Amino acid sequence: MEIHVYDTYVEAKDGHTMHFDVITSQKDHVKAIQYAKEWLKTVGEADSKVSTEECQFCHSQGAPEPIAKEIQTKGYFIQKMEGCP
């Protein structure tokens, strides 16, 4: 499976920056932003701003099996980098 990685930096409600990648099987910026917002809701950050400024396409690559399985199930995978709960 080819995956597309969207590098995302979002300001949390307490002011710190959360850095994570939104990984999808579709190269679709609108969907990547939607998935970022969906995930942010699950970590109590539903009001965080996510737009093309915060979420940018980075690259495409092959998917490791665990990531591919989650994408097939949920449509996306979040790779937490820095400042994420």
Summarised one tens digit per residue, pLDDT across range 31-62 is 999 999 999 999 999 999 999 999 999 999 99
What gap in Å lies between CA 65 and CA 44, rounded to an integer?
28
Q: What is the 3-state secondary structure (H, E, C) of the chain?
A: CEEEEEEEEEECCCCCEEEEEEEECCCCHHHHHHHHHHHHHHCCCCCCCCCCCCEEEEEEEECCHHHHHHHHHHCEEEEEEECCC
Summarised one tens digit per residue, pLDDT across range 6-37 is 999 999 999 999 999 999 999 999 999 999 99
Residue range 2-82, CATH number: 3.10.510.10
> pTM above 0.85?
yes
